[in-house]
């Protein structure tokens, strides 16, 4: 028996004793329970490559022995964790255009790591609906899905008394918590020692690499992953009816280095070890009748930062320049390159990985220092939010989304000029007859875009069109939505990252669900996470 298993066995005995003395009998096992493991950001293509390359040995073994079967899923638009989890947890087509956007009705930016943002968005989507995680536990997610116990969940990250309640309110859990801390301290020491040995062997290369990656590895691969794994294992021993664990490690390293980079792929080995431990625990508890699912919320496309394509300018500066130049006689236009440089210097989205996605920030605007008051007056209603391979452009003095005709009348030719930029793949806009696609200076319908536009070579054209149509029906999506996917210079992100998601590329859209062969998922093709909602809700309604 491994040490982790021994600690969990002791924990189970202590919990059982406390339950009998204080809480009564164990929960009934008449209905089935589920454990969902989400590998954040893992595309189906990378999954298949990792299975073949031996980086996911546990999953490969479970598939070969028939304990799990693979079902493809296209995750809908945008290809992001918040949209996926809102659809899965509550069965909705969400109004969540990305990880970061501007709400024109509230006149406020929504960025999920900011305190209260995820809670606000979840409350909107959960209104009148039942979450699939009611009475369960949730780890590392954006939303709770109604879970009563949650840890490192954005929607509850400012309420530590409600996060991981079982670890801080049940006295016997101190045994498990102490073991987690001791184990993580030892593993941290080992990792630091390895880093020092590498520094001695290759001081130039190690110095160039920097220490940021080491901090990420210690935080995500050791502390957070171990805490999630052992906490979820303890929940399994307690018979918690629904458990959802989101392992973030691969997604963060893929953002920083690219989805196929060795550091990102090594993260999959660590996740696979956690899956092995959770699977062993499930097998030891047949009386609780757990079903194991392993899934992904989206993939990632290999990207290059927009600043490399735009001559050092940010997407904000390029958009503002195009809108300013669209007006004859605009004053202060010569200062716009300086504005772009200033944006680039001060934007906090330049950080890699964990810093880029999970540290709170608010973008700072400095145009009043270098532009004339007349130019500011003309540009004042324009707001640009870079959110990955997508950037939203809002005309903020109009509360409702504006159609392309209104934007083009106000800023003649600006949007079409942007669509010709080497760092822009295509631009979406609204019209009375449905979404428009601005592509290389042309105005296309989505149908035209499939015939002779950015989606001409796609086999999944119907899925792409449906996803983009859903996106442009979201009130929160920009009046213009700019994508760097499919740009002439290659896939581009408007943040400083080597892997990105939120766009419609096959790498981002095509994910997977691994499930027990005994369960039956919806028979129709899975093209949106909301299709899985009734399946998991059936567990909560004792229909399994």
Question: Do 268 and 312 fall within a single domain?
Answer: no
Does the pLDDT value for residue 344 go beyond 50? Answer: no
Per residue in 476-492, pLDDT (tens digit) is 999 999 999 999 999 99
Residue 320: pLDDT band (50, 70, 90) is confident
Q: Answer yes or no: do 487 and 375 share one domain.
A: yes
332 & 439 share domain:
yes
Q: Is the pLDDT of residue 342 over 80?
A: no
What's the rounded mean pLDDT across residues 401-427? Answer: 95
Whether residues 79 and 221 fall in one domain: yes
**Same domain? 447 vs 521:** no
Peptide bond just before 78 cis, omega within 30 deg? yes
**Residue ranges in 19-148 assigned as alpha helix (H):** 44-52, 57-64, 81-90, 117-126
Per-residue pLDDT tens digits for 254-270: 998 899 999 899 999 98
Total tally of structural domains belonging to the chain = 2
Specify whether 201 is located in the same domain as 347: no
Are 403 and 273 found together in one domain? no
Query: Do residues 205 and 219 share a domain?
Result: yes
The answer on 180 and 101 residing in a single domain is: yes
The pLDDT value recorded for residue 312 is 86
Question: How far apart (Å, rounded) are the C-alpha atoms in residues 430 and 268?
Answer: 40
Structure tokens at 273: 């070890």
**Which domain range does residue 90 map to?**
3-301+506-540
Mean pLDDT of 82-99: 97
Q: What is the pTM of this model?
A: 0.84
Confidence at 417, pLDDT banded by 50, 70, 90: very high
Higher pLDDT, 74 or 156: 74
pLDDT category of residue 354 using cuts at 50, 70 and 90: very low
One-letter-per-residue 3-state SS of 119-161: HHHHHHHHCCCCCCCCCCEEECCCCCCCCCEEECCHHHCCCHH
Confidence label for 241 from pLDDT (cuts 50, 70 and 90) = very high
pLDDT at 180 over 80: no
CATH code, domain with 203: 3.40.720.10
Cβ atoms of residues 429 and 435 within 8 Å: yes
Please check whether residue 294 is in contact with residue 514, taking contact to mean a CB–CB distance below 8 angstroms.
Answer: yes
Q: Are residue 155 and residue 196 in the same domain, yes or no?
A: yes
Separation between Cα atoms, residue 350 and residue 496, nearest integer Å: 5
Pairing of strands 390-395, 382-386: antiparallel
Domain match, 44 and 84 both? yes
Nearest 5°: phi and psi at 366?
-125, 20
Is the same domain home to 323 and 382? Answer: yes
């Amino acid at each position: 028996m491994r040490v982790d298993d021994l600690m969990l066995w002791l924990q189970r005995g202590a919990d059982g004793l406390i339950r009998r003395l204080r809480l009564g009998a164990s929960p009934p096992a008449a209905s089935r329970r589920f454990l969902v493991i989400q590998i954040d950001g893992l595309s189906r293509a990378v999954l298949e490559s990792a299975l073949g390359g031996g980086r996911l040995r546990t999953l490969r073994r479970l598939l070969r022995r028939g304990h799990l079967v693979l079902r493809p899923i296209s995750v809908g638009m945008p290809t992001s964790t918040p949209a996926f989890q809102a659809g899965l947890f509550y069965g909705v087509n969400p109004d969540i255009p990305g990880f970061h956007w501007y709400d024109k009705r509230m006149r406020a930016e929504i960025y999920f790591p900011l305190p209260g943002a995820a809670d606000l968005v979840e409350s909107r989507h959960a209104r009148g609906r039942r979450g699939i995680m009611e009475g369960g536990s949730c780890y590392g997610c954006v939303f709770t899905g109604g879970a009563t116990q949650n840890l490192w969940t954005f929607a509850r990250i400012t309420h530590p008394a409600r996060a991981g309640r079982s670890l801080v309110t049940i006295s016997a859990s101190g045994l498990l918590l102490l073991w987690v801390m001791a184990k993580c301290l030892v593993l941290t020491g080992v990792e630091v020692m390895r880093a020092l040995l590498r520094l001695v062997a290759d001081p130039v290369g190690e110095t160039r690499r920097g220490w940021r990656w080491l901090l990420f590895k210690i935080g995500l691969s050791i502390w957070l992953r171990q805490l999630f794994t052992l906490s979820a294992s303890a929940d399994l021993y307690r018979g918690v009816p629904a458990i959802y664990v989101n392992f973030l490690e691969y997604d963060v390293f893929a953002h920083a280095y690219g989805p196929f980079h060795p550091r990102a792929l090594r993260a999959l080995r660590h996740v696979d070890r956690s899956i092995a431990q959770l699977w062993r625990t499930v097998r030891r508890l047949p009386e609780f009748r757990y079903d194991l699912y392993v899934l992904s919320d989206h993939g990632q496309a290999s990207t290059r930062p927009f600043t490399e394509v735009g001559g050092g300018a940010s997407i904000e500066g390029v958009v503002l320049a195009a809108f300013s130049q669209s007006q004859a006689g605009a004053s202060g236009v010569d200062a716009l390159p300086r504005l772009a440089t200033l944006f680039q210097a001060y934007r906090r989205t330049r950080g890699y990985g964990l810093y880029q996605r999970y540290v709170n920030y608010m973008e700072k605007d400095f145009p009043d220092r270098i532009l004339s008051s007349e130019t500011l007056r003309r540009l004042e209603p324009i707001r640009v939010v870079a959110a990955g391979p997508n950037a939203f452009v809002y005309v903020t003095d109009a509360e409702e989304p504006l159609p392309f005709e209104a934007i083009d009348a106000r800023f003649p030719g600006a949007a079409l000029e942007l669509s010709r930029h080497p760092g822009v793949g295509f631009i979406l806009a609204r019209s009375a007859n449905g979404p428009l696609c601005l592509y290389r200076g042309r105005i296309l319908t989505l149908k035209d875009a499939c015939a002779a536009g950015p989606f001409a070579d796609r086999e999944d054209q119907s899925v792409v069109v449906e996803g983009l149509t859903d996106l442009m029906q979201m009130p929160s999506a920009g009046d213009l939505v700019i994508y760097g996917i499919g740009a002439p210079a290659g896939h581009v992100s408007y943040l400083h990252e080597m892997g990105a998601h939120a766009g419609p590329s096959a790498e981002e859209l095509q994910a997977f669900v691994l499930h027990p062969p005994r369960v039956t998922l919806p028979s129709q093709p899975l093209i949106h996470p909301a299709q899985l909602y009734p399946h998991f809700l059936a567990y909560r309604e004792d229909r399994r």
